[in-house]
Structure formats: C-alpha cells, structure tokens
Structure 1
Amino acid sequence: MAERMLQFVRLSQQTPEKRDAQVRRSDFGEIYRRFSTQHAADQASRCSQCGVPFCSIHCPLNNNIPDWLKLTAEGRLEEAYEVSAATNTFPEICGRVCPQDRLCEGNCVIEKGFESVTIGAVEKYITDTAWEKGWVKPPRPVREVEHSVGIIGAGPAGLAAAERLRLRGWKVTVYDRYDRVGGLMIYGIPNFKLEKEVVLRRHAQYAEGGIEFVLNCQVGTDITLEELRRKHDAVLIATGVYKARDIGGAGANLGGIVPALDYLTASNRQGLGDTVPAFEDGSLDAAGKTVVVIGGGDTAMDCVRTAIRQGASSVTCLYRRDKANMPGSMREVSNAEEEGVTFAWLSAPDAFEGEGQVSGVTALRMHLGLPDATGRQQVEPIAGSAFTVKADLVIKALGFDPEDLPALFGASELAVSRWGTVTIDRRTMMTKLPGVFAAGDIVRGASLVVWGIRDGRDAADQIEQYVLAKKTPAMAAE
C-alpha cells in the first residue's frame, strides 16, 4: 500500500489493462479489465492532494475526489465508498461512462507533465468492490413519512431523485414506459461500456428498499399527468430526450437509413435476450454490411463500435468537423480507431443513393471557417468536393430533441421552451404547474449521465422543501 500521497513524481499513470482490440471486436464485454487492489492503491496515491481540487470543481456532482483517492491509497476502501456515495448516486456507472478526459481527469493539476490520476478507473474499482463486499445497501429510511412523490422516467435523473427521497422516508413511485429500469443506461449505452447487470442490480436494490416501479406505463395514455398530481404530493418529470434529429437531402427516405437509438436499442435488447424482429430480419443488424454512421458525438461512437462487434464488413464515420472539434470523448474515438473504424473527417452528407434501399452516401468535403457566436468554427462546404461512400446501412447519430410532452401527456398547460425542453424556475426546479417539477435532459437537453444524477438529486431537495412548506401550515393548524 502507498505510504503517502503525491506519488506522481515516482509512479507513472497506469490505466487498467485494455483487452486486445482484435479480441474485443468479437464480443460486447467491457473492454477495460479491473484494477488489482495494489494497482488501485498505487494509482490513487498519485493524487497531489492539491489545495484547490480542480477535479472536484469540474465534476458536475462536485465529488470529493481527493478524499476518496487518499482513502483508497491507504486501503480504507469502505470509507472511500461511503465518501464517494455521499455525493454520487451511481459511482460505478460514472466510473464507466463519464467522459473523464473532459471532466475530472482533464482538469487534474498534474495532467500537464505527469499525466492525470486515473480517477474513473479508481471510482469504478471502489464501488465494484463495495458491491462484492455487501457495503451497498438498499435505501431504507430511519423513519417513514407520509409524503408521496411520483417520478416519470426511470433514467439517471429519476432514479437519483427516487433514492434521495426514499432515504428520507418518502413513498416513491417511479413510472416508466419501458419494460426495464435505467432509461438510456439500459437501452442506449452498449455493454462494452456499461454491462447491463450493473444497471439491473440497482433496480433490484431500489425495489428491495421500498421504491415502487410501474413499468410499461405511458403517461398520457395509461395514466394522465393530472391523475398523478392528485395521487402524489409532488410529481417529477425526468423523461429524458428520445426524439432523433433527422437529416434531409435527396434519398433520405430510402430503406436502410435508421436512427441511432433504434439501432442501439435493438442491439441491447437482443443482448438482453429479447426477441427483436427488426434485428432478426437483418434491418437493424450490421452483420456483413457496409455501414456509415453520421455524427461525431458519443452516440455515434457507440454505433460504430456496435457495428464492428456485429460483424460489419466495414464501418465509416462521417463527421463534418475535424477530430479536434469532435463533441465525443477522445478516449472513445481512440478505442473506435483501434477496433477498425474509419473516420472521414470534415465530411458532411449531401444526398443518399439507391433505389428503394440505400447503396451509398454522397458527401461534401468541408472547410472550417470563422468562429460563430459560440466561439466554435463554422463549417463551410468546398465547391466541387463531392464524393460517395458505399453503404448498405446508414445510421443517423445526430443527437436528440425532446418529444412534445404537452401533447404526449395531454397537458397543454405544461410550458416548454422554443427547443421543446420543459420550462422550469431555475431556482426551485418547478414547472408552471404547481407541484410538478422537472430535471435532467428534458430540461437541459441531451447531456451526460452525471448531469442527470446532479439534476435528480437537486430536484429531490427542491421537492422536499416545497412539500414541507406546503404541509407545515396545515399541520400547525391541527
């Protein structure tokens, strides 16, 4: 075990062993092996214990990272888990799927010159060990209270709020239109980044702790928002955003051009043992196909790497900017390149070829121009630069927008922004409807799991304040 911290001057950065690219192309297992106890302690000991921990500042949850790194280095793993879990509802998930290279690790003070501490891998090690040792307990409150909350959506934001309020004794019911708990964590993120058992065990733990789950329940059809408002003291909307952004151009309606989430959901369901007709008939299976993925975010990386594992003959990613300007994690891009994905940088689709079924994508070479109002360089097509990429399957990974919740929920009075996100009071997190709150992607737009967790925890605090303030005068009158 490490005798002291600041070992970055003696120990080099070491990530967990990564499975060989040729081996991992053939299955959906997580690509990183787990740290040994000694390696976890050694890597944690590299932390400089700096006076201003930028890793914590740049973490949406403000995790007490230097504290649990020091405890890990000292072999005090149960304490490390308690410190980690105090601020993070799902540290084992964030350790796997967070873009640490953009957040905590990317802002580590020793990153320049010594390479950052491998924070995510240590975080994953701590919580996986906690599960094995039985330190992770169901959310059982010290005492029960009469307050009740209905949460729409069993994704990161909804589950984070559910756990926080259940620990305070609330009666918590989570409604979700899908048949499993987890949202995009279960159906959107592939196994090679997040094995499904990691999510499913949380469902079992929460159910054991008294959280009620009503699955296969579509709010607006099976139950109305107004009925939920009458049934519960407060309602939290945490549905996420699922509406795929589309792309136009000649041939955009050809067969074989599919949205990313449809493709990923089919793959994940098939991996879970479900019967998926669109996968069985080959329409959402990349096996033997020439695949083109359009987009440059983490969802695009999930798609290209899934296609490789399904046995695609070739996989090309078209992205209109260059590698340095990709919104996705550079770590994920590197993994995709290792696994055989071809990247066509500065390339944007213009039209789709084929008769009935797509056979190719016509793209234009792009040029990075002057920065726009956000400071990001604009992209401009280069005249006469058209080229064609063959394709049997085209996957559109262009991002997600909110669904029309007022129409979906039958609640026209629910206010939304011009982007379709639910409008809230940023201080209280309450919508225009009294007692109805909203959190996560449905408020901020498509974002990270870690931001969903942060929003869900914050919303739980605001819900409790609202209900207690509303009930206290009535209780006092009695």
Structure 2
Amino acid sequence: MATQKMLKFVTVAKETPEKRPATLRNQDFHEIYREFAAEKAAEQAGRCSQCGVPYCQSHCPLHNNIPDWLRLTAEGRLQEAYEISQATNTFPEICGRICPQDRLCEGNCVIEQSGHGTVTIGSVEKYLTDTAWENGWVKPIKPAADRPESVAIIGAGPGGLAAADLLRRKGYQVTVYDRYDRAGGLLTYGIPGFKLEKPVVMQRIEQLELGGVQFVLNCTVGVDISFDAIRGQHDAVLIATGVYKSRDIEAPGVGARGVVKALDYLTASNRKSFGDDVPEFDSGELNAAGKRVVVIGGGDTAMDCVRTAIRQGATSVKCLYRRDRANMPGSQREVQNAEEEGVEFVWLSAPKGFTGGESVEGVMVQKMRLGEPDATGRQSPELIEGADYVEEADLVVQALGFEPEDVPTLWGVPELAVTRWGTIKADFRTHATNLPGVYAAGDIVRGASLVVWAIRDGREAAEAIMAYLKQTEVVAAE
C-alpha cells in the first residue's frame, strides 16, 4: 500500500531534473531545467519520509500541504496531487520554478538534516502543475454567483493577482490597475525567461481575464487616474504595487553613460523576448553584447543580471559583492548556475566610484574583509586600506535592491500612513491600512521580498477584504 510507495530516501538518491549543458543554455533564454518524467517524479516524491511534523510545510510561507501531494504523486494520483497543491497556492507552477526552495521547504527537509539529500519539492511541484495544464485539470474561474461589490487592486504583480484570483472566484467584481502594458509585474518584466518562461505567466493572466477580472493597463495612479477616483468607484481597494525604486550607489561617476539600473536592464531584455520595439536595447545602451560587464550586488536580482549578460553575448561578466559567498543573500543554486555559465564572482569587493568621462570605462574597487557581526548577526565588511584597483567595464549594472516609492505624495493621499522605511503601514493579520476599506499587501508593506510571500499576503488580504465587505453589507442592511 501507500507506505510501500514512500520512505525510499534510504535506497533512492536525491535527483533533480537534468540541467541543459551550460554551453548550450547560455546561448538562449529558455528555462535551464528539463521536465521530470512521470516515473522519475513519482520516484523522487517517494523519497519523502512523511514525518509527523513536516518542517517543509511549516517553513513554506503558504504552508503548502507538501507531504500529502508528494504521497499522491508517488502513487500516480497526479490530478488529486495537483488539487491539493493549488488549494493553498494560487500559482504553484511559478513557485515551483522561482522559489528559493534551498532556503525554504527543501532547506528544512528532515531527510536533508539526516544526510540523505532533500526531497526535490520544487521540481515535483512544477511537474505537477505543468501536467495539470497539459491535461486540462486547471479549471476556469467560474463563480457560483456574482456579487455586486467591487474591489480595485493597484498592481498586477503576484500579490495583486493572487488576491484577484480569490476575490473573483467568490463572485466579487475585480478591477486591476497597473502601470505597465502587460500584467504580471516582476514576473513578466523582472525575472528572466531562463528562470520563468513568459507563457507560464501569460496563461495565468489569461485565466483571470476569462474569469471576469478587468485589467486597466498603462495606467499610473496619480497621473492617469487619481487614488480618490479609484476609491470612489470601488467598495474596497488593495494596494499591491511592489517596490520599484532602485537603490543607487553614491559614488563619483555614477551618472556616466553605461552605469544602469538592474530593473531597467532586465525589463529591456524581457521586452525584447516579447518581440517589443526596445530602442534602448537596439542602441546598445541596455544590451551587453560585446561588452565587459560588471554587476554590483549579491542578491537574486544580481544573479538575474549576470546570467542575462552572458546570454546577450558579453565578452566578460563579473559580479562584485562586498561579502563572501557564505554571506551573500542570493540563492546558492543561482550562484552555481551562473558560475557554470561563465560568470566570475569577485568576493569581498565594493565600488568606490567609476572611471571614464561621459561613458564608463571602469569600476574603482575597494577590497574588503569581514569583521565583527552586525545587529543581524552577519559579519560586517571592513575596508582594507591600500588595496584598491580598477575593474575595466563598458557596462555596469547596479543591483543593490529596491526601496518603496513615496506613495502618499505620488498619489496625493498624505493621510495614508507609512513606516519610517517608507513602506505602507498595514495590520500584519488583516493587511488593513489606516484608511477605511483600503488594504495593502506584498513588498509595498514588507519591503523587497520573495514572490511566495507576496502570494501569501495577497491571499490573506483578499480574505480580509471579503470579511470587510460582508460586514459592511450587514451594517447597511440593519
């Protein structure tokens, strides 16, 4: 029976889906991992120990019921496995591709701690949902009954789309406003195709549109429509804009041509993959072809930039990070993929400035060492005097993270409360702001974070909005 399909971790080794060879994959923007075959997915799922306290589940922001859908996969009951995986996760095929499982579910797998190698949870999740799409198991959004209440969602990223999905399934009228010409936010324009191919995102957006979600694109709140107008047209509002303001280096020469922001660089590349006309790419301004590229930063965005530059045909790609490999915030799996593809990491290095006149010619690099731990427990980088040098570069990409825009000022709502970091102040359970009927979720509340956290926040906010609207309905009826 069921147990005979499981507990195979002692006899079956961990195996991830095959990666395409680095010399081939660094020539295109297709995903680098091949798909599991059905037998291999079942075999790997069968390595799960079905432990009584599943740490994989408790360390997943969505608390996905991982042991149950692994067991069903091992038994070949794939449709049931998919149904359980999507019960808690709006976009399992996206999380299966881009979640840093090594820091979340897989990193806390009990058999990993016992030295047998983790269950490849993310790969099985991706396989399950891709199989569900192929077999028509992903059902259209069809509310049992329509409700009259209308909800506005500002921002078509993962948090906003997750909320839109839940609200529409319950029959609420949902309108999503977004500044870009395509929905998806960073899923569409920030994450490269080799991690998340764009048809995977577009099929979910199409599902929402066919289910009755209205999208108002190319719409900047505070410019094309006022926030007050949106509040006036809808019964509740969810702010899910994410954080898009790039952190800049304050150093001599930062304004030179060729010193660019990570999001501008990645967006241009992703637009090109859609077949859009991208003048700044065609001019070479945001194109790494034939250039010596230096990327500054150590997070996942920096990894996306270095791997994109390789694919665009850069002559060399170096990543400068002020700490060492063990202390970098980006996924270790991504670092390994980047190294395989030809990226050189220059650890314990920080930019001091940029050489050249109007156009950048190099990065002035300061060498660092790690000193005492800071308040977060990470060792603080300290300058090594007299060890500066110049790293030659024709294109420098700043990937130092993102900060929130000044939403109250941009939208003309000074009464909207924000924290001292500029993020919107919202209740951590209900996601309600200080304005009645206005909620906020995702990065605009928690700061730059993971897609999976945005999905969780969007789902929680949708539940709170539904409770608010029902309460409002009861009060109106009294």
- TM normalised by structure 2 equals 0.98
Q: Distance in 1 between matches of 2:428 and 2:29?
A: 40
Q: Distance in 1 between matches of 2:63 and 2:303?
A: 27
Q: Distance in 2 between matches of 1:160 and 1:434?
A: 22
Corresponding residue number in structure 2 for 1:71: 72
Corresponding residue number in structure 2 for 1:366: 368
Corresponding residue number in structure 1 for 2:46: 45
Tell whether the 8 Å contact from 2:350 to 2:366 is kept in structure 1 after alignment.
yes
1:5-46 Cα distance to aligned partner (Å, 9 max, x none) = 000011000100100000001100100000000000000000
Q: Distance in 1 between matches of 2:399 and 2:429?
A: 33
Q: Distance in 2 between matches of 1:337 and 1:116?
A: 23
Corresponding residue number in structure 1 for 2:238: 236
Corresponding residue number in structure 2 for 1:249: 251
Corresponding residue number in structure 1 for 2:453: 451
- TM normalised by structure 1 equals 0.98
Corresponding residue number in structure 2 for 1:58: 59
Corresponding residue number in structure 1 for 2:166: 164
Q: Distance in 1 between matches of 2:29 and 2:357?
A: 34
- Displacement of 1:426: 2.3
Corresponding residue number in structure 1 for 2:208: 206
Q: Distance in 2 between matches of 1:158 and 1:120?
A: 23
Question: What SS does the aligned partner of 1:469 have?
Answer: helix
1:372-417 Cα distance to aligned partner (Å, 9 max, x none) = 1111111110111101110000000000001111122121111111
Number of paired residues?
A: 476
Letter of the 1:107 partner, please give it: N
Tell whether the 8 Å contact from 2:430 to 2:460 is kept in structure 1 after alignment.
no
1:132-161 Cα distance to aligned partner (Å, 9 max, x none) = 001112221111112210000000000000
Q: Distance in 1 between matches of 2:27 and 2:88?
A: 37
Q: Distance in 1 between matches of 2:45 and 2:467?
A: 38
Question: What SS does the aligned partner of 1:358 have?
Answer: coil
Q: CA RMSD in A?
A: 1.0
Partner of residue 227 from structure 2, selected from 208, 220, 225: 225
Question: What SS does the aligned partner of 2:146 have?
Answer: coil
Q: Distance in 2 between matches of 1:32 and 1:134?
A: 23
Tell whether the 8 Å contact from 2:154 to 2:238 is kept in structure 1 after alignment.
yes
Corresponding residue number in structure 2 for 1:11: 12
Partner of residue 441 from structure 1, selected from 440, 443, 450: 443
Moved over 2 A (4+): 425-428
Q: Distance in 1 between matches of 2:149 and 2:33?
A: 43
Corresponding residue number in structure 2 for 1:117: 119
Q: Distance in 1 between matches of 2:38 and 2:107?
A: 24
Q: Distance in 2 between matches of 1:104 and 1:315?
A: 31
After superposition, residues 297-446 of structure 1 pair within 5 angstroms as: 297-446=299-448
Question: What SS does the aligned partner of 2:353 have?
Answer: strand
- Displacement of 1:223: 1.3
Corresponding residue number in structure 1 for 2:278: 276
Greater Cα shift, 428-437 or 288-297: 428-437
Name the % identity.
67
Corresponding residue number in structure 2 for 1:36: 37
Question: What SS does the aligned partner of 1:379 have?
Answer: strand
Tell whether the 8 Å contact from 2:14 to 2:44 is kept in structure 1 after alignment.
yes
Q: Distance in 2 between matches of 1:158 and 1:395?
A: 28
Q: Distance in 1 between matches of 2:10 and 2:17?
A: 20
- Displacement of 1:371: 0.9
Q: Distance in 1 between matches of 2:354 and 2:140?
A: 51
Question: What SS does the aligned partner of 1:459 have?
Answer: helix
Greater Cα shift, 120-129 or 412-421: 412-421
Give structure 1 stretches of 5+ with no counterpart.
Answer: none
Letter of the 1:180 partner, please give it: R
Question: What SS does the aligned partner of 1:72 have?
Answer: helix
Q: Distance in 2 between matches of 1:203 and 1:265?
A: 19
Partner of residue 146 from structure 2, selected from 130, 144, 147: 144
Q: Distance in 2 between matches of 1:125 and 1:139?
A: 22
- Displacement of 1:123: 0.1
After superposition, residues 16-27 of structure 1 pair within 5 angstroms as: 16-27=17-28
